[in-house]
Amino acid sequence: MIKKILSIVLAYFCLSTVSWGAIDALNFQNMQQEDAYHRLTQELRCPQCQNNNIADSNALIAQDMRGKVFTLLQQGKSEKEIIHYMVERYGNFVTYNPPIEPSTIILWVVPFGILIFALFFLWRPRFLFNKPNDTLNDVSENKAEMNDTLQTYKTELSQDDEQRLQELLNKKDN
């Protein structure tokens, strides 16, 4: 009986310590600090996780970042100063809205360039097909010249050759 009670008490203590480890016990000086903490942890991205903020991430680096945000808030730093600190330490990746800088300008310009390039090639065939039909006029002029040349050679053709030539020309026209 004592073994059962001891095993239940031991199991209770083992399970209760696991649940205590998941809770961040942070003591804020006022509600403004707590609100700033929650805004910052929602706004900062975890460098290890793919598209998770540090509030939702369980990665060790996210836990460290949350601790640093809390420490900096306790020191009286503003939200902009904390974001600037995190960007200096982890790079622009930790913010969801990176600033426009020479290193990130390609990320802002390339999508618009691709869009303009695609629109150019989508509209280009319309301009090509809306041109006057100069090629058809050239073909009809060439056909007239060919008929004149044909008339000069017709006199030299025999009756059978002339019939065969007419059949070939009629097939080509159809």
Flag whether 40 is in a domain: yes
Residue 20 lies inside a defined structural domain of this protein = no
Residue 144 lies in a domain: no
Any domain includes 12: no
Residue 62 lies in a domain: yes
| Cα–Cα distance, 52 to 56 (Å, whole number) | 6
What pLDDT does residue 60 have?
A: 93
- Does 61 reside within a domain? yes
Residue 171 counted as domain residue: no
Over range 144-168, report the average pLDDT. Answer: 74
- Per residue in 62-107, pLDDT (tens digit) is 999 999 999 999 999 999 999 999 999 998 888 888 777 777 788 7
Give the whole-number percent of the chain exceeding pLDDT 70: 76
Q: Which domain holds residue 73?
A: 28-99
Cα torsion 85, 87, 91, 93 to 10°: value is 140
pLDDT at 83: 93
- pLDDT at residue 135 greater than cutoff 60: no
**Tell me, what CATH number does 87's domain have?**
1.10.8.640
| Pair 64, 57: CB distance under 8 Å | no
Give how many domains the chain has, as a whole number. Answer: 1
Within a domain: 79: yes
